[in-house]
Chains A and B, each alone.
Chain A
Amino acid sequence: MEISPDLIIFRQWGQVTLNATIVFTWVIMIFLTIGSWIVTRKLSAETKISRWQNILEILVTWIQDQIQAISHRESYQYLPFVGTLFLFIAVSNLLTIVPWYQAPTGSLSTTVALAVCVFIATPLFGIMEGGLKGYFRSYIKPTFFMLPFNIIGEISRTLALAVRLFGNIMSGSMIAGILLSVTPLFFPIIMQALGLLTGLVQAYIFAVLAMVYIASAMQVHKGKAIQESEH
């Protein structure tokens, strides 16, 4: 049993390796893209719509509502990033019921990659909202001495984000594997079902936390703008 799908290598050209993580990520990308394309190529703006369009609309509006509830802002700007985080992680985790499938989120490389994306996106959105100076000024608040702590906090929460997802998904697979060897008949199924639930919850947690970080980065500027308007 492999701990990480990174270790399942299909091809290798020097440093470039084609492992299960990348391959199954592509599978998920193709699945999501083609699925979306099939549904959205015949979209209807009328009140009577297809079942699949209805499902996608519910999904997208639900994500928008979550973003708006957290950020108190228009969601369209953050929807592609946060929505894709949720959909990718959720689909990645839900497909674990498919035999021989290896969830890319069970790879620390993937979760680190996603966490890095959040790590980069957070200041980017903050800078877009409040400008470069305004964003970086938030690191020396309330005093200059808080700068290292703020940087450490930024890095640690990114690390926590990556490790949390990896740990949960990897542990789910590990527990299923261990139980399969101990009680092969009944318990693995229950754990698999629990794994689906955990996978969805983890996708939600990852996306929500990403949005919270982005929102907090923008909140700094907003707070400043409020203070300025009060003066």
Chain B
Amino acid sequence: MIDWFTVCAQIVNFLILVYLLKRFLYGPIIAAIDKREEKISARIKEVEQKHLAAEEEINLYRKKNEDFERQRAEMSAQMKEETGVQKNELLEKARQEIDDIKTRWNESVMRERDVFLRDLRRRVIDQVYAITREALADLAATDIEQHIVNVLIKKIKEANGEKVTQTLRNSPTGITIATSFELPGEQRQTISEAVREFLVENRDVKFIVSKDIICGIELKGNGYVIGWNLEGYLNSLEEDFNVAIEAGTGRAKC
């Protein structure tokens, strides 16, 4: 049953096969597996290193983020503070501007009031003058100018005295009769006679029309003045208007 030559041949064959398989199978396969394991290990190591590096980066960026957040909070607080200061400044400025505008407005109102009053005064004068003239003409068939002249003559008579006469006599510019209207010759004559009769005898009387006199007549000489005009009444009326306007403005402010 056992062929010893075959046994020997098979031993040799087996040993050759061991060598061949070691050369062509086990060696290359194990080398490939080892190489792959090395590669995988290297890759794992590389990944671990990258992971560590990534963690470091994460920590770095986390720290940066925290710093950034802290800086942002600080800047935000600073900005709020600056904004508050700026807001207060702006508010103060706005308040100042409002005050200025208010002042200017008040001044403007005052100016308008003055203009209005001046205009009112002029209109009132014209109106009063016209009404009075018409009333007197209707009632007594006389004009207002005549009444004014009469009032002056009455006052000249009342002012008769040594002191007045002395003052007027020494007047370097003479005696001036100023009226707000043109006096007719007859009335001039009447006034001149009254002056010579009751005040000064040998002095010329000069007649002028003055726009400064409001509906009236004045006798001037050496600082002495007698006369009558509407200015006093108008001043009183103006004061009443002023009081009324002030009261109205006060209510408007409230």
Seen from chain A, the residues whose Cβ lies within 8 Å of a Cβ on chain B are 4, 6, 15-17, 19, 21-22, 25-26, 28-29, 32-33, 36-37, 40, 43-47, 53, 56-57, 60-61, 76, 79-81, 83-84, 87-88, 104, 107-110, 112-114, 116-117
Contacts and interface: CB of A to CB of B under 8 A. Distances in A.
B116 interface: no
A80 B22 contact: yes
Interface in B16-40: 16-22, 24-26, 28-33, 35-36, 39-40
29 contacts: A15-B5, A21-B6, A25-B10, A29-B16, A29-B17, A32-B25, A33-B24, A37-B24, A40-B25, A40-B32, A43-B28, A43-B31, A45-B35, A45-B39, A53-B32, A56-B25, A57-B32, A61-B33, A76-B30, A79-B26, A80-B22, A83-B25, A84-B14, A87-B21, A88-B14, A110-B7, A112-B2, A113-B11, A114-B10
Contact of B6 (A26, A28, A56, A107): A107
A47 B42 CA distance: 13
B162 interface: no
Main SS at interface, chain B: helix
Interface string B97-140: 00000000000000000000000000000000000000000000
Contact of B32 (A28, A36, A44): A44
B15 interface: yes
B18 A84 contact: yes
A22 B9 contact: yes
Contacts of A61: 33
B1 A57 contact: no
Nearest to B13: A25
Contacts of B19: 80
Contacts, number: 120
B16 A109 contact: no
Nearest to A19: B6
B9 to A, nearest CB: 5
A117 B21 CA distance: 16
Given A15-B5, A47-B40, A108-B2, A32 B11 contact: no
Contact of A83 (B4, B5, B26): B26
Interface residues of B, number: 34
A43 B32 contact: yes
Contacts of A109: 2-4, 6-7, 10
Nearest to B22: A80
A107 B10 CA distance: 10
Q: Which of B4, B6, B29 has the most CB of A within 10 A?
A: B6
Q: Which of B8, B18, B22 has the most CB of A within 10 A?
A: B18
B14 A43 contact: no
A230 to B, nearest CB: 35
B20 A33 contact: yes
Given A25-B10, A112-B7, A117-B14, A40 B21 contact: no
